[in-house]
Structure 1
Amino acid sequence: MRVVTEIPHAAVKITVFAWNGKYLIKLERGPYEQTYKISEMEVAGDETIKQMLDETFINEAVSLFQQMHQHLMAALERAE
């Protein structure tokens, strides 16, 4: 697996990898990660990926990170 690019953003760390005919878009925020796999055949390259990661996508990802945190906290409470 190789790093294609890192895309700077204030809310999340974004790293794009190439591996096995796919691009892996990894978003990180705190202890949480989201990974999206896209066939290299579906996009023209890392510039297309950068265009895909618009503010709407990032805002929805941040919302999902918040949900992930809530789910983890609820699971921890149930386990006590």
Structure 2
Amino acid sequence: MRYIKDIPNPQFKIGLYQWNSKYIIKVESGMYEQTYKIDDYEIQELPELEQCIDNDFISAVSRRFDAMHDDFSDTLKRNNVVF
């Protein structure tokens, strides 16, 4: 996987990569991450891909991270891994 650049964001670490004829957007928050892939032939220039990381997208990502955290915490408690 080839690192291209970080995309500035005050809330999350967002990295842009290229691998296997795809662009990969990796969004990280603590111990969780979300990955989004798009075929590189769909993108003419990188700025149009960066433009897609708008406020609505970041809000959805944030809600998904909250749900991921809740799901993981619930299973840890349910299986007596943490108390």
Q: Which TM-score tier does this pair reach, normalised by the shorter chain?
A: over 0.9
- Residue deviations 1:26-77, cap 9 Å, x none? 0000100000110001112321111010010011001100000000000011
State the AA in 1 paired with 2:19: W
Aligned to 1:62: 62
Match of 2:11 in 1: 11
Whose RCO is larger (CA < 8 A, sep 6+)? 1
Q: Secondary structure at the match of 1:11?
A: coil
Q: Which runs of 5+ in 1 are unaligned?
A: none
Partner amino acid, structure 1, of 2:76: L
Asked if the contact 1:5–1:46 (Cα under 8 Å) also holds between the matched residues in 2, the reply is no
RMSD: 0.8
Question: Once the 2 structures are TM-superposed, how far is the Cα of residue 78 of structure 1 from its aligned partner?
Answer: 0.6
Q: What is the distance in 1 between the residues matched to 2:50 and 2:66? A: 23
| Structure 1: distance between partners of 2:43 and 2:57 | 16
How many correspondences in the alignment?
A: 80
Which residue is equivalent to 1:45? 45
Distance (Å, rounded) in 1 between the aligned partners of 2:16 and 2:34: 12
Q: Which runs of 5+ in 2 are unaligned?
A: none
| Percent of aligned pairs with the same amino acid | 39
